[in-house]
Amino acid sequence: MNQLKITETALRDGHQSLIATRLTTEEILPILETMDKVGYHSMEVWGGATFDACIRFLNEDPWERLREIRKRVKNTKLQMLLRGQNLLGYRNYADDLVDKFIKLSLENGIDIIRVFDALNDVRNLEASMKAIKKYGGHCQCAISYTTSDVHTTEYYLELLKSMEAMGADSICIKDMAGVLTPYNAYDLVKKMKSISNLPIELHTHCTSGIADMIYMKAVEAGVDIIDTAISPFSGGTSQPPTESLAVTFSEMERNPGLNMDALLETAEYFKPIRDTYMEKGTLNPKVLLTEPQTLNYKVPGGMLSNLLSQLKQQNATQKYEDVLKEVPRVRADLGYPPLVTPMSQMVGTQALFNVLSGERYKLIPKEIKDYVKGQYGKAPAPIDEEVKKKIIGEEEVITIRPADLLEPEFEKIKSEAGNLAKCDEDVLTYALFPQVAPNFLESKYNPKKEEELSEENKVHYITVTM
């Protein structure tokens, strides 16, 4: 049997899940050389919400963060999470922008790009996969795992076959809500390994309380790589602790062989940092609690914390359970989309509106309307006809790849950004977050402006978990 490999998530998903992606570059850099000695397969350090949080809250350049990490990590592959045609934003971008973003991500230090589509619509992966292969990166296609009448084992096996045919270098089972169960994990991994020679990675969250058992059964079934987080940023809505699983699996033939001294040094480094975020209230104790109801609601951990935050702003925290119960109803109405960014935010917001307004679909976000029109891709199952009519009336639903409707946009955005953007990386920052980027770029090149950063940067931010 091949050696089990470990991907460390603390520098992306771990802190995204627990402290709303607030780790600063200054907090990350000092421990990297120690982490580089651990023997990880890879370290997930970029993508997801890190880009947004850097420019919106931390006044940091995410590209510079990546370059500084790469300078210090010499032996371990660097990994990022990409939302397919959405890149790291919340809309579809034209193919030329996707190509440019991936080219520069790889040039700035990324080795492995884990790319997924919220609806598992492989058409939305085409441009990303083509660019990753073109520029020499490792293309890991992620299957957004969820459960419903249509999300069967056969459904996932067919997805794997499609992704392999499109050129995937490896496959990730992305259980972003922690709803995979141990024996289903064993069955799925076993069947995937029987039809493909691609490396299979498993990503899950501890929210429901069964993540360790999921990994145990998946490893028994032959999974190649598992995602873990160093203990101070593990558990709750994050991943299982790296050190504990390193010890557990060291007793088997597939021992991942991690450097325990380096792991323990890394854990000790992050403990006081975690404690500081807890004292500041950034780390909400609720996200550390086990919530078995996740298995019913199919809600990712970051979505739970985001719903709590939104309800708190509305002085309606007593409606929390009502909103959670409404989420699966909305999800069924909308054709069972997996609850991963951006669908988790969209479904969660619609459920929130349904409960707070006292009438279902009285208030409908623009994103939900666009989704029902087919602008995010094809829903896994048919959308309820009555709900569809209530949301878009008789408007036309598109059936082509959504990005086919988009004209090339990089040069246009470069022109729009003007003197704010001094390099192509700046143009991409502007393209992804046009509301936030002008203030950020102004402060980046005019440090005296930093204190004048508008509070608007902090409005409407959505805490996301992959």
Mean pLDDT of the region 223-244? 97
Identify the pLDDT of residue 88: 96
d(CA 259, CA 33): 13
CA angle 175, 384, 120 (to 5 degrees): 30
Beta carbons of 283 and 264 less than 8 angstroms apart: no
Peptide bond into 380 cis (omega under 30): no
Q: Is the pLDDT of residue 293 over 90?
A: no
Q: Is the pLDDT of residue 322 over 80?
A: yes
Tell me the percentage of the chain whose pLDDT exceeds 70.
Answer: 95
Mean pLDDT of the region 224-245? 97
List Cα–Cα distances, 143 to 164, 172, 356, in angstroms.
12, 6, 33
Note the pLDDT tens digit of each residue in 181-201.
Answer: 999 999 999 999 999 999 999
Q: Is the pLDDT of residue 416 over 50?
A: yes
Note the pLDDT tens digit of each residue in 326-381.
Answer: 999 999 999 999 988 889 889 999 999 999 999 999 999 999 999 999 999 999 99
Q: In terms of pLDDT, which residue wins out, 103 or 310?
A: 103
Mean pLDDT of the region 205-229? 97
Mean pLDDT of the region 156-161? 98
The burial of 400, by beta-carbon neighbours within 10 Å (0-12 exposed, 13-18 middle, 19 or more buried), is given as exposed
For residue 452, name the pLDDT band (cuts at 50, 70, 90).
Answer: low
Beta carbons of 39 and 253 less than 8 angstroms apart: no
Name 285's Cβ contacts closer than 8 Å, sequence gap at least 6.
Answer: 278
Tell me the average pLDDT of the chain.
93
Identify the pLDDT of residue 303: 74
Identify the pLDDT of residue 229: 98
For 394, other C-beta atoms within 10 Å of its C-beta total 6
> Which single residue is written with the structure tokens 């992305």?
174
Strand partners, 171: 141, 200
d(CA 69, CA 47): 13
Q: Is the pLDDT of residue 158 over 50?
A: yes
How many CA atoms within 13 Å lie on the side-chain side of 320?
17
Identify the pLDDT of residue 306: 73
Identify the pLDDT of residue 449: 55
Q: Is the pLDDT of residue 461 over 50?
A: no
Q: Is the pLDDT of residue 87 over 60?
A: yes
Identify the pLDDT of residue 302: 64
Identify the pLDDT of residue 300: 72
d(CA 309, CA 125): 32
For residue 305, name the pLDDT band (cuts at 50, 70, 90).
Answer: low
